[in-house]
Amino acid sequence: MLPSLVALTMQDLLAGGLFSLAALEDAAPVALQVPATSSGWKAWNRFRTLCDHHVRLCCALELTVDKTSEKELERWLAEPVRCVILSPSTFLLNRSGYPVLPKKAKALLEQLFRRQVQVIIAEPQSVEQNEGLLPRLSYIARLFQALPPLSQAERFAYSHMDTLQAPLQPLADNLESETYELFETDPVKYAKYQEAVFIFLTERKQEGRPMPFCVMVLGAGRGPLVEAALKAAERAEVEVDLYAVEKNPNAVQALRHRKRRDGWSSVQVVPGDMRSWDAPKKADVIISELLGSFGDNELSPECLDGAC
């Protein structure tokens, strides 16, 4: 039977150089046992570089943290930590004489719990220390059970944590309705857009500019930014003419549906590409959300440059 994990210690490596990359070709992950200190991270980093960042290589972290800064400890959250090793000496006794983890170690372990690590409570070196095994075990169990529930955003992202994804290309491809639905679960974005548009419209009004103000939402999708802009106009008590430009024919259907259903009488849905759209007048404000998740994957400057 294959072991579920092959553990290597730094001593193994220093002693014999017995490790060969072939070990990584077996099915089991190989964990390098390292202390969570600064020098531990450097050793780990050198080793995994030598192993060419092999996906099966992971670390078994000894939680000895006393002099390591919090910033340095945070680095481990970006590493493939599979196990956390707690030796008796990692624990302190609290005022009632129970074993507890020092603050920094506790904080790191709580975050690592979210990454589904296995905890190894290391065997004590002496009989006296053995007494504390059960209290140590139940302390760690209680720590795990007392983790706060995931927030809505964390729950949403949980299955994608640390997973590389191909960036979307909304210009080249037409996005699916469910992708728009995902965008629309963002609890922050649309509120911030609404606030920004509200401030803009309020200032225009105070300057005494003639209404209605011309608002253009470029790349409107299924319309959440249109809704945000309309709400902002209502709050600012201004009249607007709103153009919702969208090149995805499926999203255009959704926009037309919303215009009817929600009585968006000041909204004109414009099917087509913003780069070639011949706008009937100049806009007071252009609203877009084409930033994408990685660099320029939505070609925002290219599209907006055309629109301008």
Ligand X SMILES: *[C@@H]1O[C@H](CO)[C@@H](O)[C@H](O)[C@H]1NC(C)=O
Ligand Y SMILES: C[S@@+](CC[C@H](N)C(=O)[O-])C[C@H]1O[C@@H](n2cnc3c(N)ncnc32)[C@H](O)[C@@H]1O
Any idea which residues carry the catalytic annotation? Answer: 289, 298
Q: Give the HSE-up count for residue 81: Cα atoms under 13 Å, Cβ half-sphere.
A: 30
By CB under 6 A, residue 190 contacts ligand X: no
Binder of ligand X out of 53, 67, 95, 282 (CB under 6 A): 95
* 270 membership: H or E segment, kind and range: strand 267-271
- Give residue 287's Cα distance to chain centre: 25
Question: Which range, of 15-23, 93-101, 178-186, 188-196, touches ligand X by CB under 6 A?
Answer: 93-101
What angle (nearest 5°) sits at the alpha carbon of residue 256, between those of residues 252 and 258?
115
Binder of ligand X out of 7, 100, 279, 299 (CB under 6 A): 100
* 136 membership: H or E segment, kind and range: helix 133-145
Binder of ligand Y out of 76, 180, 243, 264 (CB under 6 A): 180
Binder of ligand X out of 139, 193, 198, 243 (CB under 6 A): 139
Which DSSP letter does residue 77 get? Answer: G
Binder of ligand X out of 45, 69, 89, 94 (CB under 6 A): 94
3-class state of residue 268 by DSSP = strand
Interface residues for ligand Y in 187-246 (CB under 6 A)? 219-221, 224-225, 245-246
By CB under 6 A, residue 110 contacts ligand X: no
Q: Tell me the DSSP string of 174-228.
A: PPPHHHHHHHHT-TTHHHHHHHHHHHHHHHHHHTTPPSSEEEEEES-TTSHHHHH
Residue type at position 88: P
- Round to whole Å and give the CA distance between 30 and 308: 55
Which partner from the list ligand X, ligand Y, none does 289 bind, CB cut-off 5 to 8 Å by kind? ligand Y
List the x/- string, 276-295, binding to ligand Y by CB under 6 A.
Answer: -------------xx-----
Which partner from the list ligand Y, ligand X, none does 180 bind, CB cut-off 5 to 8 Å by kind? ligand Y
Which partner from the list ligand X, ligand Y, none does 98 bind, CB cut-off 5 to 8 Å by kind? ligand X
Spell out a b/e string for 230-254, using b for 16 or more CB atoms within 10 Å of the CB, else e: bbbbeebebebbbbbbbbbeebbeb
**Residue 91 CB contacts under 8 Å (≥ 6 apart), including other chains:** 99, 100, 101, 132, 136, 139
Least distance from C-beta 226 to ligand Y, angstroms?
8
Rounded to the nearest 10 degrees, the angle between the axes of helix 249-261 and helix 177-184 is 60
Least distance from C-beta 287 to ligand X, angstroms?
53
Question: Which range, of 22-30, 88-96, 210-218, 280-288, touches ligand X by CB under 6 A?
Answer: 88-96
By CB under 6 A, residue 62 contacts ligand Y: no
Binder of ligand Y out of 63, 238, 251, 283 (CB under 6 A): 251
3-class state of residue 157 by DSSP = helix
What tokens were used for 234?
């209502």
Nearer to ligand Y, 73 or 290 (CB): 290
Question: Which range, of 50-58, 94-102, 192-200, 295-303, touches ligand X by CB under 6 A?
Answer: 94-102
Number of residues lying near ligand Y (CB under 6 A):
23
Residues within the interface to ligand Y (CB under 6 A): 170-171, 175, 180, 183-184, 219-221, 224-225, 245-248, 251, 273-275, 289-290, 298, 303
Residues of this chain that bind ligand X (CB under 6 A): 94-96, 98, 100, 139
